[in-house]
Amino acid sequence: MIKRFLAFLLILFLFTNTIYSQSNDSIIINKIFSEALADNESYENLRYLCKYIGGRICGSVQAENAVSWIESLLLNLEIDSVYLQELKVRNWVRGEKEYAYILSKIFGKQEVNVAALGGSIGTGKEGLMGKVIEVKSFEELFELGSEIVNGKIVFFNQPLNPTYLSTFRAYGEVAKFRALGAINAAKLGATGIILRSLTLSNDFYPHTGIMFYNDSVKKIPAISISTNDADLLSSLLKVEGELDFFFKTTCNEYSEKISYNVIGEIKGNEHPEKIILIGAHLDSWDIGEGANDDGVGIIQCIEVLRLFKKLNINPSNTIRFTAFMDEEVAQRGGKKYAEIVKSKGENHIAAIEVDAGGATPIGFSVNADDSVYNKIKNWSDKFLKYGLYLIVKGGGGVDISFLKELNIPLIGLITDSQRYFDYHHSANDKFENVNKREMQLGSASLAMLVYLIDKYGL
């Protein structure tokens, strides 16, 4: 009888303990959100990064300024440790503003909005003039064959599929034209490529992004064209049959430069050797301000550190923020980070990347085994209270992807993606297109996840 009574007491104890622990979590998570939403400083920091430092492609003065400024921000937080990780970056430079026009037989010279793709060779001062061949797929291109393509400029004009709910899915389907378009066109003797900008928006912004060459195929210049201008070009091609197109790009790649990842840590109370990594990328494309991609991720990660300090949340494990250099060009920051983790044999509980823009957070992607996924899925009720309704398998982020082989759980913050590609890699990726409160909800969501992982493990 007494045994039963003790068992009953034990159950009661465990039960109330769970209840207490849960309500304690609710209180802390609520404080995290309240503090994040009431703060103005992180938004002002994003303004500074965008307006005073600006677009910061790796290798640029702006990227170096960003490294110094982020280091000083972290030092001001009075966290336990701030340091740099040296690495080498490619040094592609856009040069003069690009110039391009359609030579229409009906309308004459029609200037259009273009931008060199990242990594492209330039046309040189004399520019490139040629007849345009429009295609919507590589299959179509190869079917045309070198007889038709040779000596021409290939125009990849496949729009993103608007019917997908996730714009990232739509982007993923056509990104190959940017990445491999120049190689495949050059194989058939093309002299250059024009890419329809990878956006769902109808506007006049050309969207840049990285493209690749292949040592066995001739390098040809590559540009993107705004969606409105792509529609114009396509219409004129239909009407006139053939058209001349001219573009001039003076971009060039110079010798590599030294740059840095910037790291800031709050050391764990109990397990300082165990690391929860939060990361975002500090570099951006040069033609915008790198606001949504990915200044906002940088600022949100720093805000997580500030929230932990301000609310006196002393983590059991080390919370490490890494501002990765060079996500956009060759991922040297992510690679260097993973290399050091391996050489030092560092222990990571999780690696979380924030690189999906500053819109309202809606969940997390979990690239890990089922037990980790299920553990995070079990926190759904806590997440749902703050609008985070989506926990999906896969994903993570580009910079942390190099940690995958170490079996570290990779997690990505998922945001409402509808507006993201309106800005992505274009001059439209500017501070004004990040909303303060949506950004703050992202910071708080990230801090909540880190808090739960730190407390309950993965």
Among the listed residues 51, 109, 342, 437, the single contact to a second copy using CB under 8 A? 437
Please answer whether residues 124 and 246 qualify as being in contact, where contact means their C-beta atoms are separated by less than 8 angstroms: no
- Return the HEC string of 366-408: EECCHHHHHHHHCCHHHHHCCCCCEEEECCCCCHHHHHHHHCC
User: Any contact of residue 216 with a second copy (CB under 8 A)?
Assistant: no
The least CB distance from residue 56 to a second copy, in Å, is 26
Q: Cis bond leading into 215, ω under 30°?
A: no
DSSP state of 58: T
Note whether 387 binds a second copy by CB under 8 A: yes
Q: Give 84: exposed, middle or buried? Use CB within 10 Å, 0-12, 13-18, 19+.
A: middle
Residue 328's contacts (CB-CB under 8 Å, 6 or more residues apart) are 57, 58, 118, 209, 210, 281, 283, 284, 285
The least distance separating a second copy from the CB of residue 232, rounded to whole angstroms, comes to 16
Minimum distance from residue 30 beta carbon to a second copy (Å): 9
Q: From CA 352, how far away is CA 396, in angstroms rounded? A: 7
Binding range to a second copy, per CB under 8 A, among 109-117, 216-224, 247-255, 414-422: 414-422
Q: What's the angle, vertex CA 30, arms to CA 29 and CA 35, rounded to 5?
A: 100
Alpha-carbon distance 224 to 230, whole Å?
Answer: 9
CB atoms < 10 A from the CB of 240, how many? Answer: 14
Task: Determine the straight-line distance between the first and last CA of the chain, rounded to whole angstroms.
Answer: 39
Q: Does 234 bind a second copy (CB under 8 A)?
A: no
Selected range binding a second copy among 50-58, 253-261, 265-273, 411-419, rule: CB under 8 A:
411-419
Q: Name which of 1 and 38 has its Cβ closer to a second copy.
A: 38
From the list 61-69, 95-103, 121-129, 433-441, the region that binds a second copy by CB under 8 A is 433-441
CB of 167 to a second copy, least distance (A): 7
Residue 429 binds a second copy (CB under 8 A): no
Give the one residue of 34, 72, 137, 407 binding a second copy; rule: CB under 8 A: 34
Query: Does the footprint of a second copy cover residue 373 (CB under 8 A)?
Result: no
Please say which residue, 25 or 231, places its beta carbon nearer to a second copy: 231
User: Taking the complex as a whole, how short is the minimal distance between the CB of residue 311 and a second copy, in angstroms?
Assistant: 13
Closest approach of a second copy to the CB of residue 275, in Å: 31
Question: Residue 35 or residue 327: which is nearer to a second copy going by CB?
Answer: 35
Identify the bridge partners of residue 393 per DSSP, sorted by sequence position.
Answer: 366
Contacts of 453 (CB under 8 A, 6+ apart): 276, 349, 350
Single residue of 251, 296, 362, 427 touching a second copy by CB under 8 A? 362
Determine if 292 is a binding residue for a second copy (CB under 8 A): no
Kindly report the length of the chain: 458
- Residue 38 is a binding residue for a second copy (CB under 8 A): yes
DSSP 283: -
Beta bridge partners of 132: 153
Distance CA 216, CA 218 (A): 7
Taking a C-beta distance cutoff of 8 angstroms, is the pair 259, 58 a contact? yes
Which of 404, 438, 455, 457 is close enough to bind a second copy by CB under 8 A?
438
CA 227 to chain centre: 22
Does residue 163 belong to the site contacting a second copy (CB under 8 A)? yes
Q: Which stretch binds a second copy (CB under 8 A): 194-202, 224-232, 297-305, 335-343?
A: 194-202
- Given candidates 83, 107, 389, 456, which one binds a second copy under the rule CB under 8 A? 389
Is 79 within 8 Å of 265 (Cβ atoms)?
Answer: yes
448 binds a second copy (CB under 8 A): no
State the number of binding residues for a second copy (CB under 8 A). Answer: 29
How many other C-beta atoms are found inside a 10 Å radius of the C-beta of residue 137?
Answer: 13
**Residue 162 binds a second copy (CB under 8 A):** yes
Query: Could you tell me which stretch among 15-23, 46-54, 317-325, 416-424 binds a second copy (CB under 8 A)?
Result: 416-424
Q: Give the integer Cα–Cα distance in Å for 305 and 94.
A: 35
Shortest Å, Cβ 384 to a second copy = 7
- Which of 167, 284, 401, 426 forms a contact with a second copy (CB under 8 A)? 167
CB atoms within 10 A of CB 257: 15
Considering the rule CB under 8 A, would residue 200 count as an interface residue with a second copy? yes
Applying CB under 8 A, among 84, 360, 398, 457 the residue interacting with a second copy is 360
Coil, helix or strand at residue 268: coil
- The window from 15-23, 35-43, 63-71, 341-349 that contacts a second copy (CB under 8 A) reads 35-43
Of 162 and 345, nearer to a second copy (C-beta) is 162
Among 286, 355, 422, 429, binds a second copy (CB under 8 A): 422
Q: Does 37 bind a second copy (CB under 8 A)?
A: yes
Binding site for a second copy (CB under 8 A): 33-34, 37-38, 40, 162-165, 167, 200-202, 360, 362, 384, 386-387, 389-390, 416, 418-419, 422, 435-438, 441
